[in-house]
Structures are given as structure tokens and as C-alpha cells.
Amino acid sequence: MSGALLADIGGTNARFALAQPDRAAPQLLPDSVQIFAVADFPSLADAARHYLDRTGATPSHGVFAVAGRVDGDEARITNHPWVISAERTRIALGLQRIDLVNDFAAQAMAVSLLQPADVVAIGGVAWRGWNEPGDRTYAIIGAGTGLGVGALLRRDGRYYPLQTEGGHVSFAPGTPEEIEVLQRLSGEFGRVSNERLLSGSGLVNLHRALSQIAGEDPGPLQPADITAMAREGDARCLRAIDVFCAVFGAAAGDLVLTLGAWDGVFLPGGLVPKLMPWLAHSGFRQRFEHKGRFSPTMARVPTLAVTHPQPGLLGAAALAAQFTPATDRTDAA
């Protein structure tokens, strides 16, 4: 099978799929999605070759979305040792072309294909989909292994994703408790970015800081331990999730102000579905709106948790349709 090989590479998982290059209606080929642990492979090329061997596919080009800064031909995964060269990977896989993009460029492009059924509104402001004409600006911020930040602009009917490393901006505490958390984390890390709190490891950092403030040692924990104990009613774990959601809302609101993304903010990421039982009833929306003189404006901005199972791959399919020459696309005729 020819077409496009898609990859969404994070600090934990490597997701692959196939797509036909159709600019009119980019989509993933049914049953083509496979997910592997990045720790199981020495390189992206090895993981991709494993996928191609399993599927028997023979794509002509690839779009690889990676969780790290793309610098020309090269990208480094922020939360994993892989260093990726587009040209070396292209040669290793026998592809005609590889486009290497930041993972939140793909997450942003996915927004252009999402439908209202693919999101859940946090708060009382609904998203009306893409039915409204005119230019639009959306913010994208998602918590998973790390914290990804991007944006999607629609201008004159075309979509433009913005690649950023906004997850690494400095954490700004908004309560006395958060100031104490910052002091604890500063002693451990020096500079404290939003990702030090708003990620899987960030949830663990937050729980540990709250435990230390209370004079307790929580011992080694994983993010899944904290959510599991929260479901059982553990007060410290519930508090860690509450603070996480509040800080997440504050950071999402700051991003809207920074970008002028009055049309909405989308919340993808592997951690978001796991926190949905608490997110809607937390301080997320209150802190999102609590922006001083801009609070009335923020109250009209939708905040939308993404429930589509593979938004990164969906966005990579949209990018593949943009990158593919017209003579190679299924809609070229």
C-alpha cells in the first residue's frame, strides 16, 4: 500500500498509522493505528520499520510529529533519548520524503478536522464547530508525558499551525499554597516551568511537594498511583489533582491571552482523559476565567477537552495532505 506513513512520537509511546493523501478529506486508514513503547526501540527508524514489517505497507512519504523542538533536519525528543534525523530516517525506511514537525503542530492541525462530538466542553461555553465563517484563532495545550502548547490559525479559509515550546514557560503561582509548591520545586529543579507541574511527572512532583509541605514523605509514586488513590478517596491525591486542574486552567487562560485565541482552547494529551472525572468539577474553569479586567471576555471562551482517540495522527494526516504534491493526491483529478 502506498500513501503516507504517519507517526505521533511522544516521550512514552510511538503511534503509527497510514493515510491516503486527500486534501479534501484527510483521514486515517481504518485499522491502521498501532502503538508501541518508545523504550522498546533504539530509534524512531527501528520503530517505524517494525510497524511497516507488521503491516506490509509501502508508503511513499512520511509525516512524523515528535514531542520536541524541530531544528531543520533534526529533532530531539524532550522526554526521551531519541535524536531524530529526517534524512537518515528517510533513507533507512526507503521513503521519498519525510516531513518532521513538532507534535503540537499535528495536534493543532487535528483541530481543523474535529467535530463537536470529538470534544467535551469544560464549563458552560460550547463550541459550535467549523460552521461559522471567517478567520479563527485557537489555542492548544495538552498534558501528557510532557506539556505541549500550540495554536491553529484559520485565515482566508486556510489553516496554519503554530509550533511552540510553550510548555516550558515559567510557572506562575496564583495562591499561597502554589507559592509554597514553587518554593519546594525550585529547591529541587532550580527553574520551574509549567511542565514541571502539568504533565505525568508533574502530577507526581505536585503530590510530592504537597506531601513535603505537610511534613510527610510519600515515597516513590507513578501518575497512575495518584489517580488510583484519588478514586479511592485519598485526600492528598485528591488535593494534588485539584491543584493540577487549577494550574492547568490558569495556564490555558494565559495562553488564550497571549495568542488572542478568543475562539477557544483545545485540551488534548494522554493525561486529560484520565483526569476527566475531576476536571469538570475542579477549579480549572474558575482559574481560566480569572484574568482581572479580561475576566468577562474569558468567560465567553470555550475550553474543550479532546476525546478523539488519536488527534496527533489525525493532524499528521491533515499535514500529509498539505505536503503531498497535487499529482500524488487522490483528489488531484
Cα radius of gyration (the chain): 20
Distance CA 103, CA 100 (A): 9
How many residues belong to the chain? 333
Contacting residues for 206 by C-beta, under 8 A, at least 6 apart: 181, 197, 240, 243, 244
151 is in an annotated binding site: no
58 is in an annotated binding site: no
9 is in an annotated binding site: yes
- Burial class of 156 by CB neighbour count within 10 A (0 to 12, 13 to 18, 19+): exposed
Q: H or E element: which one contains 150?
A: strand 147-155
Are 148 and 103 in contact, with CB atoms under 8 Å apart?
yes
Kindly tell me the sign of the dihedral angle through the C-alpha atoms of 314, 320, 323, 327.
negative
Distance CA 238, CA 229 (A): 8
State the cell numbers at 215: 511534613
Number of H helices, E strands in the chain: 11, 14
Decide the pairing of beta strands 74-76 and 70-71.
antiparallel
7 is in an annotated binding site: yes
Secondary structure, 3-state, 212-270: HHCCCCCCCCCHHHHHHHHHCCCHHHHHHHHHHHHHHHHHHHHHHHHHCCCCCEEECCC
Are 197 and 171 in contact, with CB atoms under 8 Å apart?
yes
Annotated binding site for ATP: 7-12
Annotated binding site: 7-12
